[in-house]
Structure 1
Amino acid sequence: MRILFTSLASYGHLYPLLPLASAARDAGHEVLYATASDFHPTLEKAGLEAVAAGLTLQEAFNLLFAGDTRSRYEVPEAELNEAIGKAFGRLLPTRFMTDLAAVLAERKPDLVVYEMGNPGGAFAAHQAGIPAIGHGFGRVSGGGPMEHITEQIDAFAAELGLTGSSKLFWGQPFVDICPPSVQAPAFLAGAQRVPLRPVGWSEPGDLPSGVEGRDRGRPLLYLTLGTTGASQAHLLTSALHGLAALDADVLVATGPAVDVAALGEVPSNVRLEAWVPQSQLLPHVDLVVHHGGSGTTLGGFAAGVPQLLLPQGADQFTNADAVVAAGVGAKLVGDELTTDAVRETAGRLLADSAVEDAVRGLAEEVAGMPSPEEVAAQLPQYA
C-alpha cells in the first residue's frame, strides 16, 4: 500500500507523525512524506522519501505582512489573531492543496494521513477521491486564535463540499496521540479516535556527557523554550537563575534562535546546550521546565516527569491548564514568571509526593496505548 503523510513545515507539526510513518515503512508500505523542502533533511534522516509541498510558517506570515515594518509585538492582538486565522485557515491550506493535487495525481497513494494543523491535506484528498485520516500532534483544543482558524477552515471546507465539523475532522478517523485523561472531553465524546502512544522523535545524536549513569540522588532539571523566539532570552535567563538556586544540576537547551551571549554569566550548576536529543533525554531528568509545546508536554507524560510550564502562545496555554488539572505539574503565566516563582514552584514540584503519584499514573496510561507498529498494522483498513 502507498501512503502519503503530510504536515505543516515546523518541528512541532512534523515530529509527531514520524513514528507512525516510520512504522508504516517498516511494515512494508511505500511511504511518502509531503512538506516544505526546508524540512526535507529531517525526513531524510528519518529514512523517509520527501515530497515538496506547501509553505513554511515564516513564508506564510511574510506574505500576509509583506511591506509591514512592525515587529510581531507591535501588531494589535485582534489583528494578529485575524492574520493567524488567515494563515492557518486559508493561505497554508490553499498552497498545500494545490501542491498536493499534483503529487496525488502522479503518485496515486491509497491513503492520505494529514496532520491536524494541515487541513490542506484533507482537502486535497477529498478532491482527489482518496481516503484520508487525521493525525494529532497533541491535545485538541480551542479558544484564542483557534476560533479564527476554525472559522476560516469551516468556510473553506464548505466551499469544497466537505461536510461535518473541522473540530471533529469531518468525521474522518483521527490518530490521537494524547492520553484520554488529558484530552479535551468534547473531542473524546465526538471524534472517531484511533489511539496511538506518543513516541518522541528527535534527530539522532548523543546525550550530553554525564547524563547517562549519573547519580540520581541529585536532581537534574531540564529547561527549554523550544526552537523559536530569539526574543525569549530574557525568559530563559529568569528561569535558569530560578532553577540554579536549587540544590540541583540544570541543563538548558537554548535552541537555534537564542544568542547565548544574551544570557550573560550563568551559575556553575547550569549547563547550556544549543540542542539535545530531547526524546532520549527526558527519561533521565527529574523536572522539565518548558514553554508548553505539545511535543515536550506529551514527552513529559510518557517519561513520567513533573512539568513546570511557562506558556507563551498558541496551544501552550491549554496544554498548561491540562497539566495542572492532571496534577502532574504547574504553570507560571505572564507576570507570574519571575526568578523567585520558578525557584519556589520547581522546588515544590520536586518534593510533592502527590505530583509524583500522578506523574507515575499518567506514564502508565501512556505506556498502555497502542504502539506505532500496532497502529501501522491498522492503516490498510482505512484505505
Structure 2
Amino acid sequence: MRVLFTIMPAPAHLYPIVPIAWALQSAGHEVRIASHPDIAEATTRAGLTAVPLGPEADLASSVRSAADNAELERIVGALALDPADRNLYTALRHYLMAPFAHYYPARLPAPSEPAMVDALVDFARSWRPDLVLWDPLFFPAPLAARACGAAHARLLWGLDHFGWARERFVKRLNAPGAEPREDLMAAMMQPTLQRLGQEFAEELLVGQWTVDPTPPRLRLPTDLDHVPVRWVPYNGAAALPGWLHERPTRPRVCLTLGVSGRKFFADDAVPVAELLDAVGALDIEMVATVDGRQLADRGAVPENVRTVDYLPLSLLLPSCSAIVHHGGAGTFVAAAFARVPQLIIPKEGGDFVDHARYAADFGAGLVAERAGLTVSHLVKQVLRLLDEPSFAEGANALYADLSAVPGPDALVPELVKLTEKHRS
C-alpha cells in the first residue's frame, strides 16, 4: 500500500505523524510526506521521504492576513461560542480558520503563481497513493486524494476543534430561523473546486474518517468516525550530549516553551531571564531549551542553569524530576510518557489550556495562569512539584491513561482495511 502524509510545515505538525509513518514503513508499506519545502529537512532527518511542493509557507503572515477576513468572522460568529471562552475563539478564528482561508482564497492564483493544491494534485496523480493521511489544517489534501481515487482520512495532532466546529456550524445552519442560511465554508471552497472540476462534499472538510491520538476523556464530542491511536512522543533526533551520560546530582528541571511557538509566533509572556536568575538560589539544576531572543540583553546564567538551543525531550526528560512548559501537545505527551510532573503555563489559542487541565486533573502537574504571572509564583510551583510525592504518583496515573490506547503498530491493519473500503 502507498501512503501519502500531508502536513503543515511546522515541527509540531510533523512530529506527531512520525511514529505512525515508521509503523507503516516497518510493515512494508511505501510512505511519502508532502508539504511545503520548509519542513523537508526535518522530515528526512526523521528517516522519512519528503516531497517538497509549492512555495515556502509563512504561517505567521497567513494568520495575520486572515485577521480582517469578514467571511471567517461570519463563520466563527455563527458558532455562537461562549463569549467568556477567549481561548476557543482564538483557536478557531485565528489558528484554524486562517489556513482554510489561505488554501481557499477568494482570488484564484494567477498561472504564474505556484499553488500548493495544483502541485499536490499533480504529485498524487503521478505517484497514485492508496491512502492520504492529512493534517486537519492541510486542506488541499482531500482534493488531491479525490483526484487520484485514494482513500483519505484526517490525522489529528491535538483536539479536533475543526471537526467540532464544522458539526456545530452545520447543525446551526439547519436549525429553524438560524443565520446564516448559506454554507459559508462550502461557498469559500467553490472557486477552487470549480477550477479543479470537483463538487463539494463534507469529507473535504472532515475526511472519510479520522485517526485520533487524543485520549478518550480529553476528546471533543463529535459524531465523526474516529479511529484511536496512542500518542507516541517524537521530538526529533540528535547526538546524546556528554553531560547526559551521568545522573544529575540534584533535581533536574526542564524549561521549554516550544519550538514551533518561538519560530512562528512571538511569546514574551514568560519572564525567562528572570526565572533563570531566580533558579540560581535554588538547590536544583535547570536545563532551559531557549533561543537568543529569549535571553536577549542578559549576561551569564547562574552556574546551576544550562541553556541549549534545542535538545529532543526524549533524551532529556528521563533524567528530569519536573518540567516547566507552555502546554503544547508534543511537550505534554513527552513529559507524560517520561512520567515527569509538569508545571504548565498555557498559551491562548489551542490545546494548551486543555493539556494543562488534563495533567492537573490527574494530579500530574500544576497550572500557572499567564495573567499576573510572577517569577516568585513559578518558583514556588516548581518546588511543590519536587517536594510533594503526590505529583509523581499523578504522573504515573497520567502515563497509564495514555498507554491504554492501542499503539501505531495496531493501527496499521485498521488503516489497510479502511483504505480498501473507501478507495475508489
* TM-score (normalised: structure 2): 0.75
Give the paired residue count.
365
Residue equivalent to 2:202: 163
Given that residues 273 and 294 in structure 2 are in contact (C-alpha distance below 8 angstroms), is that contact kept between their aligned partners in structure 1? no
Given that residues 53 and 100 in structure 1 are in contact (C-alpha distance below 8 angstroms), is that contact kept between their aligned partners in structure 2? yes
**Deviation digits for residues 129-150 of structure 1 (CA, Å, limit 9, x no counterpart):** 421111121233479x999999
Distance 2:309 2:330 in 1: 18
Q: Does 1:90 align with 2:101?
A: yes
Given that residues 138 and 298 in structure 1 are in contact (C-alpha distance below 8 angstroms), is that contact kept between their aligned partners in structure 2? no
Given that residues 132 and 152 in structure 2 are in contact (C-alpha distance below 8 angstroms), is that contact kept between their aligned partners in structure 1? yes
Q: Assess, with a 3 A threshold, how the Cα gap between structure 1 residues 270 and 2 changes in structure 2: closer, same or farther.
A: same
Map 1:192-341 → 2, pairs under 5 A: 192-215=225-248, 218-227=250-259, 228-229=261-262, 231-232=266-267, 235-255=271-291, 258=293, 260-315=295-350, 316-341=352-377
Q: Assess, with a 3 A threshold, how the Cα gap between structure 1 residues 165 and 184 changes in structure 2: closer, same or farther.
A: farther
* TM-score (normalised: structure 1): 0.82
**Deviation digits for residues 234-256 of structure 1 (CA, Å, limit 9, x no counterpart):** 6322333444443211000014x
Higher mean C-alpha deviation, range 218-227 or range 316-325: 316-325
Task: Pick the aligned partner of 2:159 from 124, 139, 157.
Answer: 139
Q: Assess, with a 3 A threshold, how the Cα gap between structure 1 residues 301 and 178 changes in structure 2: closer, same or farther.
A: farther
Give the gaps of 5 or more residues in structure 1.
69-76
Residue equivalent to 1:346: 382
Aligned partner letter, 1:306: P
Q: List structure 1 segments (4+ residues) > 6 angstroms apart after TM superposition.
A: 77-81, 145-152
Given that residues 96 and 162 in structure 2 are in contact (C-alpha distance below 8 angstroms), is that contact kept between their aligned partners in structure 1? no
Distance 1:81 1:174 in 2: 19
Secondary structure, in 3 states, of the residue corresponding to 2:250? coil
Larger radius of gyration: 2
Give the gaps of 5 or more residues in structure 2.
69-86, 106-114, 171-182, 194-198, 420-424
Given that residues 342 and 365 in structure 2 are in contact (C-alpha distance below 8 angstroms), is that contact kept between their aligned partners in structure 1? yes
**Deviation digits for residues 107-136 of structure 1 (CA, Å, limit 9, x no counterpart):** 110000112232332343245442111112
Higher mean C-alpha deviation, range 93-102 or range 271-280: 93-102
Give the drift of 1:357: 1.9
Task: Pick the aligned partner of 1:355 from 391, 406, 411.
Answer: 391
Map 1:95-110 → 2, pairs under 5 A: 95-110=115-130
Distance 2:21 2:306 in 1: 34
Give the drift of 1:35: 0.7
Higher mean C-alpha deviation, range 10-19 or range 38-47: 38-47
Secondary structure, in 3 states, of the residue corresponding to 1:334? coil
Give the drift of 1:31: 0.8
Distance 1:149 1:272 in 2: 46
Q: Does 1:365 align with 2:397?
A: no
Given that residues 161 and 220 in structure 2 are in contact (C-alpha distance below 8 angstroms), is that contact kept between their aligned partners in structure 1? no
Q: State the identity as a percent.
A: 27
Aligned partner letter, 1:326: F
Given that residues 90 and 348 in structure 2 are in contact (C-alpha distance below 8 angstroms), is that contact kept between their aligned partners in structure 1? no
Q: Assess, with a 3 A threshold, how the Cα gap between structure 1 residues 53 and 382 changes in structure 2: closer, same or farther.
A: farther
Q: Assess, with a 3 A threshold, how the Cα gap between structure 1 residues 152 and 281 changes in structure 2: closer, same or farther.
A: farther
Given that residues 327 and 355 in structure 1 are in contact (C-alpha distance below 8 angstroms), is that contact kept between their aligned partners in structure 2? yes
Superposed CA RMSD? 3.5
Residue equivalent to 2:50: 50
Q: Assess, with a 3 A threshold, how the Cα gap between structure 1 residues 138 and 96 changes in structure 2: closer, same or farther.
A: same
